[in-house]
Structure 1
């Protein structure tokens, strides 16, 4: 862009020390190929990427005075006190410092004082201090001593100039300093800027001596408007804009932007938006916008923009309407009406308040050649910046001229409508309109009706012949099914009612609303408009969602849609009070909530460009990779699984309205689609799985233009238990497991076969055992039977033996009776032979009785046969006597009392007594059977 708008002020963004968190003074400015800005700051090298500020500190040095970026190498050269060198990107992309002092061989020049200027000259980098210039080339440093003392140096049109305090201006040619004749007059001045202007002329600005031009070996004062300004305010340098404009920094009053003839086009200082009046440095960036390094802070001035602003002198008021009348621009605001003279150029944005208008002013318009203001105080007639008449002190919204009554004006006030008349005395109040007392700012008139939009209703009204009353003919809440009637506007003389971007006109003859298909189609692809206005060139301006757009009318009647460039105004538009006033076919005044903006449509087609975007940093684990710095290197990143939480930051070196830069991102294959647009510059992902990833980011600037996509690829290794080696080990383990499993299965099969055989053998043995057991049981049963049979036989034998014993007892008893009888016989009377025979018989019987051992055999037999029983009985009852044992045995043999008495040679009563004593010893109760008890033992 070769021109600077002289109407209004460009947008200014100020960065305070608290914003960039570094030193106050900023001595020099430069920009790298990626768009990052660098400032030689009191605390170090200050970098700004559009989103974040970062200060890079030089070891053992505080203040940096110069910075220069070499795009071919990406090195950022800096100069400081007794130090100079460069920053370059390390392996992780962050900037690291390399000092060049070790390359100085001459100890006299080791201490350089401040390095004030750095120049890229040919294939060398030249660092200039007061005492010498240090020429860095081929990784070596050569010294260029100052003839007396260097002040500053300047590169102009590929020529390098030095100011020496004793030799004037010197040109550096082939390693030598060649004086410029006629410049010795600058020896007592500090030259802070040299630029080239046409006709081989150098423009030289000084700190205190003003501005000079040097031509044909002659030095003269630059006697222009700009030169006079610098003579009063001093200069700390300058910069050229596209070889046609010059920005000159001042010590006391900000900057001026002047043309090559010295005419001041813009003057920007503390009052007009800067935060400091002392400008230490200035720089034109890649998009032809201006950066200022201040004595306290940094300013960005968007000089290459279609917008310039009027705000401070309007007290940042909300602008509801504007109009140009008799060479003055009038602006209706919430604080009153302001005016400004319309000239070829505005040097400032100074508006003056019209006395008597200090109140809410809803509208200002020219009707019947007079300037009429709808003010909270009433109807005000203004001329020449003054209120010349006040009509009706009620508050008004606006006015319309009645089409069929050219000398009458209808005005909408806070309680209805009034009629005004234009006569020889000017505009005067005529009467109030009766029968309708609703109020609204949205009203229009056509040949037949007065239309009023109030809330969701549209009123169609007819004025009486006498213009003193209304007839409401229709109250409409929808048009052809469209119930959102947003606004109404005359376009090319026809009144249209807009509902959901459908345009309807009313046919009086048919009594219906008819749609204009062409206009509806024109607005079909934009959001629903909230208000619309047509300027005098037929351009259609509309507001939507606190944003602005326009259909610019071409010569052939078609329209060109423009809206992206107005995104800078989003949130600042007076949506319900859309105010657009044309200064010319390409210049328009637009009302804002905090002032007035001038829009130059010719600029908009030249300033829009695609933004850049960078993935500024990529953090994982404790490491961070920086991108977007110079010398960006390709990366092949493989992250350990432990670093699967990653963090990205984004930036875009779009400094115009940078807070409105929006970003969208997609991490492939994690994200299935792009994210929604957001101003957030940080994105984190956690617990990512092992995979190959590609992070993609794009930016959209304040004009709605998308950038190309920036990307970074990386891989996340699987955890050790999911690595290829682990899978090989797992596979080997599986193979080994399968092999061992087959072995185990074979063993199991063999074992199963073995156990099956064992089981079969067990079953066989069990069967055999069962058979044997059965055989044994059978044998036992047989044995038992035999035993029982034997027992029975024994018992039988016992019985027989007892019977035999009893017979023996009986026999012995009989024999004893015989013996007793024989003893009673009288043997004395018998003959000796008889006596002998009887004695012999007696002896023989006695012998038989004594020799018969049947009873003893019986006792012995019973003891032998019933030994176990007697033992058990004795063990159980130790106190039992032998006679009681015998009794027990006889009872067990089921012998009768008589038989027992005979065997035991006691009476039956003795047996019963013995039985009684035995029961006592055996602790038997009365109901218990003694014989049964003994048989059970």
Structure 2
């Protein structure tokens, strides 16, 4: 869907440093009502995804629109489009909504009804079989009418009249156009002319012979502007009037010139008495109720296609245009219309019957007055020489002044004259105490201006002593002015009586104000009022501070920025919370802003342009000028309601439709992504409907307003819920709330029967559990006894283990003691063996010395004595008793060593065992030799032989050490 006309909610903000001339109220007598071009909504292929050539339309009581095209039937509920094909894939040529609340349609060899089922889906029911007609010879059903209690289907060859379950087929020939006016059926015949058919008498009465309208094909027959008259439109553009009583037939006008190839394709008479005529090549023509013809071509309307196939007026009074390539809806019922859309608007002034608009692209003037009809279109052209930023338009001394970035200008029609002054003039204000003198407010300093004897304006002087921008200025008393600077705060200046210079300047950066920024001054109830980002303030002269304005802050929330206020006769207009509105001067004022919500956040900031009219207001925005008709019922409840169009839930990858029964019972399992879809069909998608919803039992409060026409809930608990949805348009229209009761049944395992079953089963389980528990207790008692016995056995075993451990400890202690004693004895044996070895060495040395002494002595007796002594020593050396004693002690000390040695090597001799013992004691060969009474060489030989017998490859001492100690 595409909108070529700009939406009305257009920005009205720019920089704070711009002009703040604010609102202006002109005398109502000079400000007639203005209605610009209505908004148009285009519906094309991207919207309905079907053939774009439209042929027929109707609307049901809920506001749902039905369109016939080449593919069948299109259905539009205000939010979504649906398609419906006929059984024979025929196009839909005709549509009608009957008093029985059924939609009737006709196609090629097919006709029937369309109704909405309980799931919100549209279903077609053919009536061909019920009417008992040969549908193969029916051809196209061109028109459907309701007349004299019957539904009439008209084809070229027959009329089919249906009443209830009865059908009557009436053969005809040559009827190509038909219409019903005041319950009378009129039809145009190729051969005779226009006839009236009476179902009661079954007669065709000729009313207008064909020659009277010059054999031109009849396109439309509608009610006339007066009672008992018909308006008849021909294809070639003739409009006739026929009086039913006098039979007077008159050519009213011819829409086309003789050379035109254009054709009339359809006509409709609206509730207001205006006629809209569709053409083949020039869009629309409007014929007002007072007889004025207005071509509604692109400069005024701007349809998306030149060729109009048909026209339809909806219940809202909007005009639907069926085109060769799409659908256009002209919003005739909206209180908002476009006056100007070529630039950003800063000021508007009606002067000498011409509308002037100050914009960022200069000044534009209306070159065409208000046209008739509901459009009242104005054409604007720019005034040469005033290109660039124009700030203000002021009517003074019967002259129109323009404050411009280039200076100050006088506008006379399309001519301009510049008044010598400084560049950059915001505006001109009168001086209260000096009639005929004015203050020119500029970017840098104020100027004094007066009107001379010739009636021309002249700049008298620059008012010295103050060089700040005076774009926002208000005179409070003679010579005293308040000046608000966007960033520097507030100044109060006093000018001398001849307005030559400023004699005092008071600068208030705060002085009670919340901030020096974004402060503006206006007059309200005869006193200066200052708007800020934190409420409204007045000035206390005695305390020399700004104080909150209690009355205004009670009406306008001080926590929200207020930028403008303007007092009129019986109400105050404001810019508050970035939106425009007003409140009446009464005891409990109520803010009225819903009618202007579409302008929220769209103003030129601190440069808002609002001009009051007789019954409306003009609002200037960044994208143009728009008219609001305040005489409409905007903001009041209307008898339209929200409709819940579909209910569905998610099942895997599929969405399952639910019936729209109220109340609706569903299972808890059917609340997976449960979606409510809703719409306001009557709104025609013209006013951007917003919705708010609440599901009692799930939502604590109503939701915020949002554009989304659906709401999903997931996994609702069993219970009763009531879904409520309300809607309002951005023009302030509100609608009746739709409600739908939803009963979510629990799954079978949560039903009452299931709970009774659970209770019985629970009792059985309790009984069984008691039995099992008693059995388990008995088994536990037995296990306890066994466990106690087992524990006693374990205890006894533990005591035995502790006793064995104690004995083991004692044994280990004894063993350790014995090992220590053995070690000590081993050391003693080693010492003994060492001493024994030394003793033997000593005796050998003594024997050798005695032998030497014997050989050297001469005395025989001494020699014999020496021999005897040597013999005793030799006997003593050969005596091995001491060796046996040593071996016995060593074997006792190292019993395990000898046992293992003898076990592993049983063929060892006693000398070899002895040698092993001496080696284990780590004695040297030199120490072993005397003990064994052999030489050191003999010891070495003995050890060598012993190593071979023991197969020792490593050190012999280490080998013996590895044996048992």
Matched, 1:291 2:320: yes
Correspondence list, 1:386-401, <5 A: 386-392=415-421, 394-401=423-430
The aligned residue for residue 279 of structure 1 is 308
The aligned residue for residue 909 of structure 1 is none
The aligned residue for residue 792 of structure 1 is none
Matched, 1:48 2:76: yes
* 8 A Cα contact 1:32 1:71, kept in partner: no
The aligned residue for residue 121 of structure 2 is 94
SS in 2 for 1:562: coil
Matched, 1:497 2:530: yes
Cα deviation code 1:758-781 (max 9, x no counterpart): 789999999999xxx9xxxxxxxx
* 8 A Cα contact 2:440 2:448, kept in partner: yes
The aligned residue for residue 862 of structure 1 is none
Counterpart pick for 2:431 among 393, 402, 407? 402
SS in 2 for 1:274: coil
Matched, 1:450 2:476: no
Cα distance in 2 between the residues matched to 1:328 and 1:78:
51
SS in 2 for 1:734: helix
The aligned residue for residue 762 of structure 2 is 734
Correspondence list, 1:535-934, <5 A: 537=569, 539-551=571-583, 562-583=592-613, 585-604=614-633, 609=638, 611-620=640-649, 621=651, 622-625=654-657, 634=662, 636-639=664-667, 641=669, 644-655=672-683, 658=686, 660-719=688-747, 721-724=749-752, 726-752=754-780
Cα distance in 1 between the residues matched to 2:558 and 2:545:
26
State the shift of 1:255 in Å: 2.8
The aligned residue for residue 41 of structure 2 is 13
State the shift of 1:577 in Å: 1.8
* 8 A Cα contact 2:62 2:682, kept in partner: no
State the shift of 1:203 in Å: 0.5
Change (3 A) 1:646 1:765: closer
CA-atom RMSD in angstroms: 4.0
SS in 2 for 1:34: coil
Counterpart pick for 1:103 among 100, 120, 130? 130
The aligned residue for residue 181 of structure 1 is 207
State the shift of 1:213 in Å: 0.5
Cα distance in 2 between the residues matched to 1:676 and 1:560:
21
The aligned residue for residue 130 of structure 1 is 156
Q: Normalising by the residue count of structure 2, what TM-score does the alignment of the two structures yield?
A: 0.71
Cα deviation code 1:36-63 (max 9, x no counterpart): 1222233322222222222222233253
* 8 A Cα contact 2:727 2:735, kept in partner: yes
* 8 A Cα contact 1:45 1:64, kept in partner: yes
The aligned residue for residue 308 of structure 1 is 337
State the shift of 1:161 in Å: 1.3
Counterpart pick for 2:57 among 29, 45, 56? 29
Change (3 A) 1:469 1:225: farther
Cα distance in 2 between the residues matched to 1:571 and 1:499:
17
SS in 1 for 2:82: strand
Q: How many residues align?
A: 761
The aligned residue for residue 459 of structure 1 is 491
Name whichever of 717-726 and 614-623 sits farther off.
717-726
Change (3 A) 1:310 1:609: same
Counterpart pick for 1:152 among 165, 177, 186? 177
* 8 A Cα contact 2:75 2:83, kept in partner: yes
State the shift of 1:230 in Å: 14
* 8 A Cα contact 1:547 1:575, kept in partner: no
The aligned residue for residue 220 of structure 2 is 193
* 8 A Cα contact 2:34 2:627, kept in partner: no
Cα deviation code 1:363-404 (max 9, x no counterpart): 111123321111222211101232133534612221212222
Change (3 A) 1:263 1:599: same
Correspondence list, 1:215-254, <5 A: 215=243, 216=245, 218=247, 220-223=249-252, 234-242=263-271, 244-254=273-283
State the shift of 1:33 in Å: 1.7
Cα distance in 1 between the residues matched to 2:553 and 2:681:
39
Larger RCO (alpha carbons 8 Å, 6+ apart): 2
Correspondence list, 1:311-326, <5 A: 311-312=340-341, 315=342, 317-326=343-352
Change (3 A) 1:755 1:362: closer
Matched, 1:477 2:509: yes
Cα distance in 2 between the residues matched to 1:558 and 1:718:
51
State the shift of 1:214 in Å: 0.8
Q: Normalising by the residue count of structure 1, what TM-score does the alignment of the two structures yield?
A: 0.73
Name whichever of 515-524 and 392-401 sits farther off.
515-524
SS in 2 for 1:223: strand
Counterpart pick for 1:358 among 375, 383, 387? 387
Change (3 A) 1:730 1:80: same
Change (3 A) 1:616 1:526: farther
SS in 2 for 1:677: coil
Cα deviation code 1:515-558 (max 9, x no counterpart): 766555554699543223346x565322234422124579xx99
* 8 A Cα contact 2:419 2:459, kept in partner: no
* 8 A Cα contact 2:234 2:264, kept in partner: yes
State the shift of 1:461 in Å: 1.5
Cα distance in 2 between the residues matched to 1:205 and 1:225:
10
Change (3 A) 1:62 1:548: farther
State the shift of 1:311 in Å: 2.6
State the shift of 1:713 in Å: 3.1
The aligned residue for residue 385 of structure 1 is 414
Cα distance in 2 between the residues matched to 1:659 and 1:328:
31
Name whichever of 224-233 and 199-208 sits farther off.
224-233
Name whichever of 501-510 and 336-345 sits farther off.
501-510
> Could you list the runs of 5+ residues in structure 2 that have no partner in the other structure?
1-31, 801-901, 907-965
Change (3 A) 1:87 1:182: closer
Cα distance in 1 between the residues matched to 2:557 and 2:104:
55
Cα deviation code 1:666-687 (max 9, x no counterpart): 2232222222221122322233
Cα deviation code 1:666-709 (max 9, x no counterpart): 22322222222211223222333344433222212223344333
* 8 A Cα contact 1:154 1:161, kept in partner: yes
Cα distance in 2 between the residues matched to 1:761 and 1:549:
96
The aligned residue for residue 520 of structure 2 is 487
State the shift of 1:465 in Å: 4.9
Cα distance in 1 between the residues matched to 2:612 and 2:671:
60
* Bigger radius of gyration among the two: 1
Change (3 A) 1:15 1:106: closer
The aligned residue for residue 61 of structure 1 is 89
Change (3 A) 1:675 1:512: closer
Cα distance in 1 between the residues matched to 2:601 and 2:191:
58
Change (3 A) 1:54 1:471: farther
